[in-house]
Amino acid sequence: MPINILMPALSPTMEKGNLAKWLKKEGDKVRSGDVIAEIETDKATMEVEAVDEGTIAKILVPEGTQDVPVNNVIAVLAGDGEDVKSAASGGGAAKAEPRTDAKSEAGVVAGSGGATRSPDSSSSAPAPKPASSGAQAVSTPSANGHGRIFSSPLARRLAKEAGIELSRIDGSGPHGRVVARDVEQAKSGKGLKAPAAASAGAPSIAPAMSDKQILSLFEDGSYEIVPHDNMRRTIAQRLTASIQTIPHFYLTMDCDIGRLLAAREDINASAPKDKEKKPLYKLSVNDFVIKAMAIALQRVPNANVSWTEGGMLRHKHSDIGVAVAMPGGLITPIIRKAETKSLSAISSEMKDFAARARARKLKPEEYQGGTTAVSNLGMYGIKDFTAVINPPHATILAVGASEERAVVRGGKIEAAHIMSVTLSCDHRAVDGALGAELIGAFKTLIENPVMMMV
């Protein structure tokens, strides 16, 4: 029977992807391991490898298609000995509603480092559910306080991404079921009910403005609409969830980095040269920041944690995520076991990460996880700022610009190179005193860089 090739989930948070390019066309034979397509996620462009052998019978999603839901059928493969025309007409039945369970990942598993079949996958896609079985009743009261809201899994996900309550959406499906097209219309203000009145005694929260309300404030022709790509939507969703669910607090310290700047200059001047007489490395202030944060977490292990409802994860190593700006957003590649690496190794790894991040060539394992993060806006002249914690981290360090400031030493005013840093903490995992201990350990290390060498 025909083998359905599904849109793969390339990361735990991926819900949609762009089908950037087909590397095979209809009628082409493929073997297991052949690269058949390129998929753009919110963070990277990745290759999809075939798991099964056969012939591409039909391509259902043309290249260049954006926002293809995970587990939608993107192509049909005819197995060895199977009639291609028959496979093309018989495959693709599962594309009406993507399944939401883990076992629906079948046909291909993708990744820049190579694809393997998942334990739950098989050579053919699972039998599709009837359209009605995808609807579930959501226990949210409707505007009149009665009844239950029926919606498809895709509609629920789209509504969550858009920040729209299902109870405010008029459903056009069978028995008033909310489907994907209803959510898309609701985004522009069509078919959107007024929010339900708050119950007595409950705090009143003003609803977010709808797209229609915002557009009504501006004259037609005075703006252009730039559609959100997957990266921007994911950043918005994750950071909104972070600031709403994580109790942030902030600790700021000024660090005198005069010794660091002198050490950096000496180290770079004495760096070994390659055959073309170019330095093998050139350390940045950020390389010292990464190393200092890594060692600080080892000295204050109770702050090297991640919060889970079941218990605290206390990490053995300091895996430091470093925010890298890229077109349309940012990504946070991770220096693993940074406490064990030399400054030159950290510098080399970061240069490689930054180049591949901007080309969207990072592998998921290179930017997922980590135990904390560093965000440095000093190169833009920013003096100080606060950063939003990126789960599962419990902290993030915001680094400002180094600048000459007047300081008092021994009763005398002197000029010093001062860098302000702000530590954002998840109060569930890191209390005030513990956060102060961590940023204090960082300050000691960054002001005395020789301590990082031993």
Catalytic residue numbers?
427
Closest CA to 238 of 15, 399, 2: 15
Give CA separation, 13 vs 98, 263, 311, 312, in Å: 16, 41, 22, 22
Query: What's the token pair of residue 437?
Result: 């201990």
What is the separation, in whole angstroms, between the first and last Cα of the chain? 63
C-alpha span between 38 and 112 (Å, rounded): 10
C-alpha span between 415 and 419 (Å, rounded): 13
Phi, psi of 436 (to 5 degrees): -65, -40
C-alpha span between 98 and 17 (Å, rounded): 13
C-alpha span between 41 and 45 (Å, rounded): 6
- Residues in contact with 140: Cβ distance below 8 Å, sequence separation at least 6, in sequence order: 148, 149, 165, 166, 167
